[in-house]
A and B are shown apart, each in its own frame.
Chain A
Amino acid sequence: MDALILQILNGLDKGSAYALIALGLTLIFGTLGVVNFAHGALFMIGAFCAVTLQRILTLSYTVEDPTRTDFLGNPLKVDTPYVVHWFGDSIGHGIIEWAVPLAILFAIPVMLLLGYAMERGLIKHFYKRPHADQILVTFGLAIVLQEIIKLFYGANPIPTPAPDAFKGSIDFGVMIGFAANAIIYPAWRLVYFLFATVIIGAVFAFLQFTTFGMVVRAGMADRETVGLLGINIDKRFTIMFGIAAAVAGLAGVMYAPINSPNYHMGMDFLVLSFVVVVVGGMGSLPGAVLAGFLLGVLESFASMNEVKSLLPGIDQIIIYLVAIIILLTRPRGLMGRKGVMEE
């Protein structure tokens, strides 16, 4: 039982990342009708926002320490971060340690701007073009974005630890009435799950309860009619693209302590997030979220030793297998709408 609960936690956690990326992807599909192969790259750039902020906070001045030597026998260069210099040792290191959560504030404007620039500069010109062209141009963009990151940060993963307060694990079992040490779970992963729920909730609330969201939803259902009503739907869709980019970026920022960021992490998630979106059903936001959590949990179950010993290698294929079964039994995924991307 405790093993099952552990795997459900793992699944919800994995699912949070899938759901956040799929949510943004569906927003872009639904509003703009664009297949965005660069969405994984946006997730990756989000993670690198955390890396960048960490680098900015640790910007240092160098003093040569003649008493010690480096590997070549020259005087050792000791780097002291400016924040430590300005605020003293404990506060300075405290700020650096909180780089990842602080990066949320840093990432929101960066990702909104990036999304805005992408839509206005490139995607806008591809609304009337075939999906094939959209795939080619966004895939090209994804390669360019990740190569630029590689140019600046290299290919090796970069450690971006969570604040010390969340580094260890907590005994989740005790909280829900299990014996001590039965269900131990990393604190940061719980944070990630809560964070994802908040973001998902915020996006839905925004679409549901604001006038802006209402117009966007109307536009998703019937763009032309909304346009005829004299509403500038294009401008709102551009903003939605920025929001989708920001959601992907924030998913990346918070994922950085779980998975040390590297430049190709976007590609690793790209295929999975497409599977999630399609399993959820094209054009359905609740579908994307549901599919994200469902596939995450199933993937975790398939990784259990008991399952693996019964079906060797099942954890390698479970997501694809489930996708096939769902798509064959439900033609438009879990909650897809008719006529979206079925051409």
Chain B
Amino acid sequence: MSKKFILNRRSVLKYGSAGAVTALATPYFFTRGALAEGENYLNAPKGDTVTFGFNVPQTGPYADEGADELDAYKLAVDHLNGEGDGGCLSTFSSKVLKGNGVLGKKVAYVTGDTQTKSDAARASAKSMIEKDGAVMITGGSSSGVAVAVQGLCQEAGVIFMAALTHSNDTTGKDKKANGFRHFFNAYMSGAALAPVLEKAYGKDRRAYHLTADYTWGWTQQASIQKFTEEIGWETVNNVLTPLAATDFSSYIAPVLNSGADVLVLNHYGGNMVNSLTQAVQFGLRDKMVNGKQFEIIVPLYSELMAKGAGDNIKGVYGSMNWNWTLPDEGTKVFVKSFGEKYGRPPSNAAQTAYAQTLLYADAAERAGTFNPCGIVGALEGFDFDGLGNGPTHYRAADHQCFKDVLVVKGKEEPSSQYDTLEVVEVTPRAQVEYAPDNEMFAGGDLGKCNPGA
């Protein structure tokens, strides 16, 4: 192109090495982020506030779920700062949080929109870290996004408290030292559901799986298949459906004549609402196959999905992390606090968001610092109670919470628009536990905590 602008090997070497030398000569100048004196970690809070980053979907199909999480985060901030009724601070087994902020600093927050896309979620989290000085990022509504943001937080050197992410990978092959998950996972869903299904539908069943064709769908399908086969069920087929599909008719149509008498829908969100609605329209649930009533199972439920599917969920089994109808003190206090502020009961996404914020604040208080390595130390192996899930353990080996899992069923006679799901069994924690090197979780490496400086 240009006649005068010539690059040759010599000049490249000359300028290249000059650049490298400059970089080496000024190591102090080019440091990662800003360091406050004495506090050797990224975004150490300087003034009298500490900033949390709430990164949830605000646009796209999961926007309502994100809005629910955001409401729960704001409630948690209120309680940490001593506003409102204090919520679960009174029931939480750890008593170091006093409602006067965290480590004497008032909690401030920034919000961002993940759009349920890894790229947008990372951009939003980065802006919180780089621009707003957030020490902790929390949020999520899809496992892909949670894993992506967790990886980012590990690289940058802040803590990630995952909210709604159900894939085994989040604390399996994609686990990170700076990331923690309170929510349950696909393995636990399978382990909790299988015994209940056995009781309700018997040992001799033939299951047909429809599975969303991406990583979360696959891990859930594998988990459910493993546990249902252990109780004697046969897996007739597993059909992968495109994520973008809105019409599942061509996948549902062959089910009836396949000899299967149970349909397992490994779908989430809009996928699940549509596939369940359409399966019911095909009359699957009115049919008798192999002399048995045909049944549908949705392994992972959420309140919003239940609302979207309307009457179609009546009698359909699934699992949940938590439900607002639980009788324990922590749940009661949280539901009251949330309900009085927002006029509706919280979803299980909101509960995990609330619990994660309190858990982080508590860990910081106990560690005496916001340094991610201090937080990791305080959270690893931590046992607590009073947040609504019963006695819970944060396992050090993979940063996964272990607690009871709920098996729920779509309610036949709902008494109000929020009363859509009923808890049929609280599966004890021991039954859903697994070794950190379980084959469904193998291949990951926590690495070391990264304080970002």
Contact = CB atoms under 8 A, between A and B. Distances in A.
B310 A71 contact: no
A196 interface: no
Contacts of A258: 247, 277-278, 281
Contacts, number: 132
Given A161-B311, A168-B283, A315 B242 contact: yes
Contact of B256 (A11, A162, A184): A184
Interface stretch (B33-41, B61-69, B385-393): B61-69
Contact of B246 (A167, A185, A259, A305): A259
B248 to A, nearest CB: 9
Given A13-B249, A157-B270, A316 B309 contact: no
Interface string A154-188: 11111101100001110000000000011011101
Nearest to A315: B242
B60 interface: yes
A316 B242 contact: yes
Contacts of B262: none
A304 B244 contact: no
User: Size band of the B side of the interface?
Assistant: 35 or more
Interface stretch (A82-90, A123-131, A260-268): A260-268
B438 interface: no
A68 interface: yes
B66 to A, nearest CB: 8
B274 interface: yes
Contact of B339 (A72, A162, A181, A264): A72
Interface of B is mostly: helix
Contacts of B286: 168-169
Contacts of B419: 71
A157 B282 CA distance: 20
B237 interface: yes
B281 A189 contact: yes
Contacts of B63: 150, 154-155
B345 A188 contact: no
Nearest to B58: A155
Contacts of B256: 181, 184
Interface residues of A, number: 50
B253 interface: yes
A264 B310 CA distance: 19
A305 B237 contact: yes
Contacts of B257: 2-3, 181-182
B237 A7 contact: no
Interface string A302-313: 011100100001
A39 interface: no
A115 B337 CA distance: 46
Interface of B: 59-65, 213, 237, 239-242, 244, 246-247, 249-251, 253-254, 256-257, 270, 273-274, 277-278, 281-283, 286-287, 304, 307-312, 324-325, 335-336, 339-340, 345, 415-416, 418-419
Closest 10 CB pairs of A and B: A159-B310, A169-B283, A155-B63, A303-B250, A157-B308, A186-B281, A300-B250, A156-B64, A10-B249, A6-B253
Interface of A: 2-3, 6-7, 9-11, 13-14, 68, 70-72, 76, 150, 154-159, 161-162, 167-169, 181-182, 184-186, 188-189, 257-260, 262, 264-265, 268, 299-300, 303-305, 308, 313, 315-316
23 contacts: A2-B257, A7-B250, A7-B253, A9-B253, A10-B247, A14-B249, A14-B250, A71-B325, A154-B64, A156-B304, A158-B308, A169-B281, A185-B282, A186-B283, A188-B281, A259-B247, A259-B277, A260-B270, A300-B250, A304-B254, A308-B239, A316-B213, A316-B242
Given A157-B273, A169-B286, 9 more contacts: A10-B247, A157-B274, A161-B310, A182-B257, A189-B249, A258-B277, A258-B281, A259-B246, A259-B247
